[in-house]
Structure 1
Amino acid sequence: MIKACEALGKTSLFAGLERTTFQNYCALTRVRSFAKGEIVVAEGDLCSSIGVIEKGRIAMQKYTTSGDFATISLLKSGDFFGEDLIFGTQNYYAFTFEAMSATEVLFVNKDVLSALMDQSSIVKANFLRILSDRVSTQNKRIALLAQKSIRHKIAFYLMELKTEQESTGQDIDSVRLPVSKEVIAKLLAMPRPSFSRELIHMQKDGLIEVSGRDIKLLDIVRLESEIVEGFKYDY
């Protein structure tokens, strides 16, 4: 219960809220640990709780019957999942959520969330902000997939990583891929060999410098130009 209360207090859902407001609900929440590769939520599962990632990373995957999969999104510490389903009429997961590293997730069930939203306008406002952020994330995903070439998609993704790192005060001249290149390639909807080849081409062209998962951004102006060009289609 103590661990759940501490976890609740750290989430953006309860930002600005006194602990006395939610401490009676701590026993009704739970923190679960998952090993790398373990399934957190499977496609087809009923969404009866929202999940908050306390630590680690989770990949949202779409599997085929043959076992192949596409990575739809990567979630990090502080991110939520299930918030778009919990109050919906179609509240079954359409994707599988898989731990990419040792991960801890705080689960808040629907009844607890409803009670807290009724009790506090702060929780309600925070929840609406989380939903708004989800829409923004999905719009960025659509923009990435709208890029017309492999290079354009990679440039878009690298600049998004740069923006994310800037918000946390990290080095803005280089980025680090959060997971393996294989997973990133699936996230960008391209074959792994094509992803690696294009990184080599971009390095030869003086755009980036690659060292494992660390990528130095050598020419940000040209990378931004690649993104703009990626939205242009000939009709």
Structure 2
Amino acid sequence: MKKACDALAKSPIFRQLNHDTFGHFCNRLSIKMYYKGEMLANEGDECQALGIVLDGQVALQKYSFDGEFTTLDLLGTGDVFGEDLIFSSRHIWPYSIEAVTHTKIIMLTLNVLIPLFQENPEIIRSFMAFMSDRIQEQNQRIMVLSQRTLRGKISNYLLDLYTTQLVAAQKSQAASGSSDNKEVLPGDQDSPPTVVLPVSKEVVSRLLAMPRPSLSRELVKMEKDGLIHVDGRSIELLNLADLERGRNINTLIGRHHGELERFG
């Protein structure tokens, strides 16, 4: 159970858990194993537990009637799912959850969660902060998907990824107490800002709701236009201003289109 306790300690909800309570709590955990391609839950199923990824990776998938699907999110070790449903009056999964790799999941039912919250009020604050962060992430995801062009979606995704990775690098450097430049932050010194795709381009295309070939073609076009340089999963952002301008242009197009519809 030590590995399960370590995974919980890394999760944003339970990192404030009192260590004296921790051991007793870990003994009440349920851990389930899933093989690659196995479904953890299907759309329409009842959500009966909060899930935390102990090992592996799972994908939240939204399927259409013709069998096509969009990847809504990818979750890895320490990530949480079901937090928006477990306490809801309508706890029905609005998407399916699939194991992308062999996966171990910690399952926390209400019978475990409610006493834990009652005994540890600080976890309630962590849960509320976590939910607020997730809402912001979902709002950002809506912003990406609302872009009207492939370039707009890709630009938005890369800029958000750059911000996320820059903040993570700064926190890591601050935590290590390092004042030298051994760990170069994205965009430091003379190098252009760089992001590293956390997943394959196939998965990125699913996250952006576009065909894989379309993503590849648009990346090539953006490289020819001097916006980016692609090297595997590493992408240099050569022109942040134009990438930002492309994102804003898409927003303006949407606004003008709405105005034309109102006056049409």
TM-score by length of 1: 0.90
Is the contact made by 1:22 and 1:116 (CA closer than 8 Å) also made in structure 2? Answer: no
Question: Would the alpha carbon gap of residues 17 and 37 (structure 1) be closer, same or farther in structure 2, given more than 3 Å must change?
Answer: same
| 1:16-75: CA deviation from partner (whole Å, max 9, x where unpaired) | 332222432222213334444332332222211111223443221012343221112222
What is the RMSD computed on CA atoms of the aligned residues? 2.0
The residue that corresponds to 1:130 in the other structure is 130
Question: Would the alpha carbon gap of residues 214 and 228 (structure 1) be closer, same or farther in structure 2, given more than 3 Å must change?
Answer: same
Residue 225 (str. 1) matches residue 245 (str. 2): yes
Paired residue secondary structure (2:106): strand
Q: Following TM superposition, by how much is the alpha carbon of 1:164 offset from its aligned partner in structure 2, in angstroms?
A: 2.0
Is the contact made by 1:156 and 1:227 (CA closer than 8 Å) also made in structure 2? Answer: yes
The residue that corresponds to 1:204 in the other structure is 224
Structure 1, 56-65 or 150-159: larger mean CA deviation:
56-65
The residue that corresponds to 2:172 in the other structure is none
- Give 1 or 2 for the bigger CA radius of gyration: 2
Distance in 2 (alpha carbons) for counterparts of 1:213 and 1:36: 23
The residue that corresponds to 1:158 in the other structure is 158
Paired residue secondary structure (2:44): coil
Q: Following TM superposition, by how much is the alpha carbon of 1:118 offset from its aligned partner in structure 2, in angstroms?
A: 1.2
The residue that corresponds to 1:48 in the other structure is 48
Distance in 1 (alpha carbons) for counterparts of 2:238 and 2:217: 18
- Structure 2: stretches of 5+ with no match in the other structure: 170-183, 187-192, 260-264
The residue that corresponds to 1:180 in the other structure is 200
The residue that corresponds to 2:174 in the other structure is none
Paired residue secondary structure (2:247): helix
| Identical residues among aligned pairs (%) | 41
In structure 2, what residue type is equivalent to 1:126?
Answer: S
Question: Would the alpha carbon gap of residues 11 and 129 (structure 1) be closer, same or farther in structure 2, given more than 3 Å must change?
Answer: same
Distance in 1 (alpha carbons) for counterparts of 2:7 and 2:73: 23
Distance in 1 (alpha carbons) for counterparts of 2:162 and 2:55: 21
Q: How does 1:50-129 map to 2 (within 5 A)?
A: 50-129=50-129
In structure 2, what residue type is equivalent to 1:184?
Answer: V
The residue that corresponds to 1:12 in the other structure is 12
Paired residue secondary structure (2:13): helix
Paired residue secondary structure (1:91): coil
| 1:63-107: CA deviation from partner (whole Å, max 9, x where unpaired) | 234322111222233321100000111111111122333443322
- Structure 1: stretches of 5+ with no match in the other structure: none
Q: Which runs of 4+ in 1 moved over 4 A?
A: none
Question: Would the alpha carbon gap of residues 72 and 106 (structure 1) be closer, same or farther in structure 2, given more than 3 Å must change?
Answer: same
Is the contact made by 2:16 and 2:126 (CA closer than 8 Å) also made in structure 1? Answer: no
Is the contact made by 1:60 and 1:74 (CA closer than 8 Å) also made in structure 2? Answer: yes
Is the contact made by 1:209 and 1:217 (CA closer than 8 Å) also made in structure 2? Answer: yes
| 1:180-204: CA deviation from partner (whole Å, max 9, x where unpaired) | 3232222112222221111111000
Q: Following TM superposition, by how much is the alpha carbon of 1:171 offset from its aligned partner in structure 2, in angstroms?
A: 4.8
Question: Would the alpha carbon gap of residues 6 and 177 (structure 1) be closer, same or farther in structure 2, given more than 3 Å must change?
Answer: closer
Distance in 2 (alpha carbons) for counterparts of 1:34 and 1:207: 41
Question: Would the alpha carbon gap of residues 6 and 212 (structure 1) be closer, same or farther in structure 2, given more than 3 Å must change?
Answer: closer
Residue 190 (str. 1) matches residue 210 (str. 2): yes
In structure 2, what residue type is equivalent to 1:185?
Answer: S
In structure 2, what residue type is equivalent to 1:88?
Answer: S
Distance in 2 (alpha carbons) for counterparts of 1:230 and 1:3: 46
Distance in 1 (alpha carbons) for counterparts of 2:194 and 2:223: 13
